[in-house]
């Protein structure tokens, strides 16, 4: 059974710092991994989708890496800003199950001015 | 940019009542999903829908729940005889294929009193 874990559960950093959020999954037979942002009481905004054949995917100040064999993904945020404060979720599709996503519990990020 | 929309944004209902949550997926998408997030917990999968039928459902999705695509644009989740524990944020999502990026709506906050 696929399980997704995110560490740390919460992170507080000063503005301008580079940071890394971690996601691990137990079943490496995935075909992609998706990172989301969730603001309090709001929906999920897709940030990056990284395919199983890729090792990295970049969007602006965000860079996601994927190491399928070790069951890990990282989300790197460069030059963090207070507007980056949110909960970041990673999710993997349940293999051969028509796209059902299994979510981690998220990392709550606070960027202090 | 195309987006998934959901109505209402907040629904308050009494225990035992029926509610219908509505979603308009992205127009050329073929796969549709409902997820829910109980306050402070992980986002969890409820049901996926493709080609006018349920492709997968979780153990949460019992006879109390049903989904429908009544026309070419709407996708609905019906909860019969609501319980207090149904209080949660309900998210609709859609994707072009079963293995591509999922786009989420802003959610409907359901409060059962």
Per-residue model confidence as pLDDT tens for chain B (113 residues): 789 999 999 999 999 999 999 999 999 899 999 999 999 899 999 999 998 899 999 999 999 999 999 887 899 999 999 999 999 999 999 998 767 889 999 999 999 99
Quick check: A14 pLDDT over 90? yes
Question: Which chain B residues are closer than 8 Å to A34 by Cβ?
Answer: 101-102
pLDDT at residue B96, rounded to an integer: 87
Per the CB < 8 Å rule, is A101 touching B45?
yes
Inter-chain CB proximity A98 and B48 less than 8 Å: yes
Q: Note the pLDDT of residue A95.
A: 65
Q: What is the DSSP letter of B102?
A: -
CA dist., res. A10 & res. A82, Å (int): 15
CB pairs under 8 A between A and B: 66
Mean pLDDT (whole number) for A59-77:
96
CB within 8 Å of B59: residues ≥ 6 apart: none
User: Best interface-test mutation with A: which of B23, B26, B43, B107 has the largest number of A CBs within 10 A?
Assistant: B43
Predicted confidence at residue B63, as pLDDT, reads: 94
pLDDT at A98: 62
Kindly list the residues from chain B whose CB atom is less than 8 angstroms away from the CB atom of residue A105. 41-42
Alpha-carbon span A34 to A101, nearest angstrom: 9
Q: What angle do CA A26, A32, A37 make, to 5 degrees?
A: 90
């Amino acid at each position: 059974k696929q399980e997704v874990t995110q560490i740390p559960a919460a992170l507080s950093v000063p503005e301008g710092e580079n940071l890394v959020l971690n996601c691990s999954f137990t079943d490496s037979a995935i075909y992609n991994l998706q990172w989301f942002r969730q603001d309090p009481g709001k929906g999920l905004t897709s940030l990056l989708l990284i395919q199983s054949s890729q090792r990295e995917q970049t969007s602006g100040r965000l860079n996601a890496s994927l190491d399928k064999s070790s069951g890990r993904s990282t989300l790197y945020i460069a030059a963090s800003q207070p507007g980056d404060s949110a909960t970041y979720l990673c999710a993997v599709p349940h293999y051969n199950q028509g796209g059902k996503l299994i979510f981690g519990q998220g990392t709550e990020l606070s960027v202090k001015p | 940019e195309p987006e998934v929309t959901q109505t209402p944004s907040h629904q308050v209902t009494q225990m035992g009542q029926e509610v219908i949550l509505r979603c308009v997926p992205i127009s050329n998408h073929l796969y549709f999903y409902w997820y829910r997030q109980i306050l402070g917990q992980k986002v969890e999968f409820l049901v996926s829908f493709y080609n006018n039928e349920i492709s997968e459902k979780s153990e949460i999705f019992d006879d109390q729940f049903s989904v429908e695509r009544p026309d070419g644009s709407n996708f609905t989740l019906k909860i019969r005889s609501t319980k207090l524990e149904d209080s949660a944020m309900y998210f609709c999502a859609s994707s072009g294929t079963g293995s591509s990026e999922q786009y989420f709506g802003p959610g409907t906050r359901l409060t059962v009193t």
